[in-house]
Amino acid sequence: MSRINQKIAQKYSELGENPESYLEGLLHSKPINYWDYIGVETLLSLQRPRTNFKDEEIFIMYHQMTELLLKMLLHEIKQLVETDSFSEEIWLDKINRMNRYVSMLINSFDIMKDGMDYEDYNRFRTALAPASGFQSVQFRYIEIYCTKLENLVKQEEKKQLPGSPSTEDYFENIYWKKAGINKKTGDKTLTMLQFEEKYLDSLITLAKKVKGQSLEEQFLMLKKPSEALQKKLLEFDKLYNIEWPLVHLNTAQHYLDKKGENKAATGGSEWKKYLHPKFQQRKFFPSLWTKEDSLVEDKIKI
């Protein structure tokens, strides 16, 4: 115990603090328990359905789980982006974690597809407009952290960019903007207006901060990255930008198009196009994609 006491005393002395104050505080502190540490009661109180349909609570919890997994992804990505001294071994460890998280997102979609009553879902979803998963800002943060902004602009939209595009120019033409436009009027949907009002400034600020340091750019600065690392990054790219959107699309088809009704998304987007990888054209590490990889992507039917 004396050795531990010495280390504690040294720790707080180096911080310019009195070790005895902290030790006395420990003496009076309550022992920690699971429910307080995890915040179980708070967590379980965060489901607030807008209707009386029982499966709406499942819908809410599933999306909350998704946001937590996205936060776990961001946790790993930020470490790679914000530190340039990681060894390849650490890169592989972080990317393996990222791939596990995205695999969980993919494999868990059956909770949505097969875990809710079809009729009930199509009733309670009408109470959710204009809210939409489109408004998940963590999804956008991940895109910005992972790749250069130019990779988030579709090929046909790049023709509209000026010679030396600013961050704002890229955001005016970013791929997801079209999903938030009313095709009949040409105006932004309420879903898009809400999202931009709340988050656009923070997205632009983050993009400027990360410029030149995205995960893609950090990877390109690595000297002779191994084949194993390249494969893992490509796996992440395909999982996040092809496999996950496809299971989302299949689930949407199950509920919105199962009976040929072609129901509208709550956010008003053309969901069949927007959710499809062909529409999004999103690649975080384009240099790793071979012609064969792109051909496989092109064969995926809408």
The tens digit of pLDDT for each residue in 175-226 reads 998 888 888 888 999 999 999 999 999 999 999 999 999 999 999 998 899 9
Instruction: Read off the amino acid at residue 21.
Output: S
Reported confidence tier of residue 295, pLDDT bands at 50, 70, 90: low
Residues 46-69: tens digit of each pLDDT: 999 999 999 999 999 999 999 999
Beta-carbon neighbour count of residue 151 at 10 Å?
Answer: 18
Mean pLDDT for the chain overall: 89
Bridge partners, residue 181, by sequence: 188
Residue 260's identity, in one-letter code, is G
Residue 188, helix vs strand vs coil = strand
Please state the domain count of the chain.
1
Q: Which of 126-135, 150-159, 262-271, 282-291 has the lowest mean pLDDT?
A: 262-271
The per-residue pLDDT for range 69-85, each reduced to its tens digit, is 999 999 999 999 998 77
Question: pLDDT at position 301, please?
Answer: 55
Would you place residue 108 in the very low, low, confident or very high pLDDT band (cuts 50, 70, 90)? very high
143 found inside a domain = yes
Q: Is residue 103 classed exposed, middle or buried when 0-12, 13-18 and 19+ CB atoms within 10 A define those classes? A: middle
Residue 70: inside a domain: yes
| Cα angle for residues 15, 16, 18 (degrees, 5° grid) | 105
Answer whether residue 48 is part of any domain: no
CATH number for 288 = 1.20.58
Q: Does 122 fall in a domain?
A: yes
Domain-embedded: residue 27: no
Report the distance separating Cα 88 and Cα 223, nearest Å. Answer: 10
Q: Residue 261: inside a domain, yes or no?
A: yes
> Would you say residue 8 lies in a domain?
no
What is the pLDDT at residue 209?
97
What does the pLDDT read at residue 263? 56
In a domain, 2, yes or no: no
Q: What domain range is 156 assigned to?
A: 59-299
